[in-house]
Amino acid sequence: MKIRNKILIYFSTTVIALTAISLTIIYILFSEYREEEFQQQQNEKIHTTIKLIEKIKQESATISYLIDQQDINDFYDEKLLVYDVNKNMIFASLDSLDIVKAESILNKLSPTQRWIETKEENYDLIGIYIETNNQKYYAVSKAYDAFGYTKMYFLGNVIIGIFVFITIVVILISWFLSNKISKPITALADNLNIYDLSKEKVEELKIETSSYELNQLTQRFNELIKRTNEAFVFQKHTIHHISHQLKTPISVLVSELERIKNLSNTEVFTSEIENQIIKTKSLGSIINVLLEISKIEAGQQTQKQVLRIDELFFDVIEELNAIYPDFQFEVNYRPDEIDENRLTINLNPVLIIQAIQNLLTNCVSYSNNSKAEIKFDCSADNELKIQIINSGKPISTEEEKFLFNHFFRGKNSEGKIGFGLGLVLTKKIIELNSATINYSNPTPNINVFELNFPLS
């Protein structure tokens, strides 16, 4: 069932049911009040009649007629019977109305049970035991409350009219509110139907509503769809890269090994084998990083450790110096005296080491003087800034915006060996470790990659 119909049914049913119950209670209470009020009027008339009987002290039709005439207009369709202490009738009103239960009520009345009330069809019937002026009397009164029932009939019609009016108003209001409430939800559902997760970029949902909950839902959904789209696109490129990019290097590697096995020069043979080992390790590292990132994107928990990030840089520098002994890495700190805790960060060591390797390997590949500088800036209170600087041909301003895109290679990478995923993976790794990475070219032939890690 649509949420609009649910709101319409649930709200209108609840309000209409409560209205019906309330109006029914009002009608019942008024009915009981009418009965109680009319019985009190009967009681008062009985007392008045007995007082007149005591005053006249006679029992005759004339007396009955006179007593009846003094209040003939009190009730419509009434019968009153008065008995003495021995339950002998001493007065009967002139009405021809019969009291079927008179004998039964009279037998039940006694000094211990002075009041009996019941109904005969629409007639109110009461029996009373009275003691006045040392005299004892029994009385039975049966009367029809014409005025009271007229008021009840009018009240019933008013209540029915009010109920019908409220029902119509509630249904209209429910219909209006259900449309108003469900409209943004329907718009959200319609927008979901046109989403294409295969696109590189997906526009955010924009729902026009003043509802805090729906705005929160839309915001959370946009965050979810953005993350899902990023994971989907990354996975798509990863699969494409593994199936396409790795296939070619492996084929080249196989052909190179077949060529190398026929070499007779030992020095050339050794050099070629070392080059192939480096390429193979690079492929293995990329595959491991892709698998690790895929685990994180799939929602699996990965192990993080609290590590000094400068020590990770030193470890990578040591590995690269073994491969490129002529290349120099200079490490500087700002300020000169720093708190070591400001270099301690909660990281995924497998991923962050690969990111550092990618950045420092870029320095080696693109430097024109075999030097690079690494600056650790701990001067800010809330972040650690790391700059990796090398001198070499920079990328153009037009190419900067594509630097971290899949398969992008700038003009300065012509003739360089690479698989096209280095900086893409690096950016992904840095973001997964709650940091940011940026590239700048502050002066000619100077390349700067800046990492910013937030400090808790």
CA 53/CA 90 separation, integer angstroms: 9
In a domain, 316, yes or no: yes
- Per-residue pLDDT reduced to its tens digit, 403-444: 766 444 444 444 444 444 567 778 888 888 889 999 888 888
Q: How distant, in Å, are the alpha carbons of 96, 124, 136, 137 from that of 47?
A: 22, 17, 12, 10
**Where among 123, 150, 177 does a domain terminate?**
150
Residue 225 lies in a domain: no
Query: Mean pLDDT over residues 15-21, rounded?
Result: 92
Cα–Cα distance, 275 to 222 (Å, whole number): 46
> Using 50, 70 and 90 to split pLDDT, how confident is the model at 159?
very high
* pLDDT at 76 (0 to 100): 61
Q: What share of the chain is helix, strand, coil (3-state, %, to 5)?
A: 55, 20, 25
- Structural domain contains residue 107: yes
- Tokens 């280095």 locate to 422
C-alpha span between 14 and 326 (Å, rounded): 83
Rounded to whole angstroms, the Cα distance separating 142 from 77 reads 8
The answer to whether residue 342 sits within a structural domain is yes
429 or 212, which is more confident:
429
Domain end marker among 115, 150, 185: 150
Q: What is residue 23's three-state secondary structure?
A: helix
Which H or E element spans position 192?
Answer: helix 146-193
Query: Does the pLDDT value for residue 254 go beyond 90?
Result: no
DSSP string, 211-238: -HHHHHHHHHHHHHHHHHHHHHHHHHHH
Is residue 208 included in any domain, yes or no? no
Q: What confidence score (pLDDT) does residue 358 get?
A: 85
Lowest pLDDT segment from 230-239, 350-359, 360-369, 423-432: 230-239
Tell me, yes or no, whether 130 lies in a domain: yes
Question: Is there a domain that residue 262 lies in?
Answer: no
> Of 84, 116, 150, which residue constitutes the final position of a domain?
150
Q: Which of 41-50, 234-243, 410-419 has the highest mean pLDDT?
A: 41-50
Give percent above pLDDT 90 in the chain.
17
End-to-end CA distance of the chain: 48
Distance CA 176, CA 174 (A): 5
The pLDDT of residue 12: 86
Question: Which one, of 447, 241, 275, lies nearest residue 359 by Cα?
Answer: 447
CATH number at residue 129: 3.30.450
pTM beyond 0.75, yes or no: no
Q: How many domains does the chain have?
A: 2
Over 80: is that where the pLDDT of 275 sits?
Answer: no
Q: What is the CATH number of the domain that holds 403?
A: 3.30.565.10
- Give residue-wise pLDDT tens across range 311-329: 999 999 998 888 888 999 9
Residue 68, pLDDT score? 54
Mean pLDDT within 105-116: 89
Residues 6+ apart with CB under 8 A from 311: none
Could you report the per-residue pLDDT of 176-208, keeping only the tens digit for each? 887 877 777 777 777 777 766 566 666 776 777
Q: Is residue 389 part of a domain?
A: yes
Which of the two residues, 291 and 88, has the higher pLDDT score? 88
- Structural domain harbouring 411: 303-454
Measured CA to CA, the distance from residue 246 to residue 251 in angstroms comes to 8
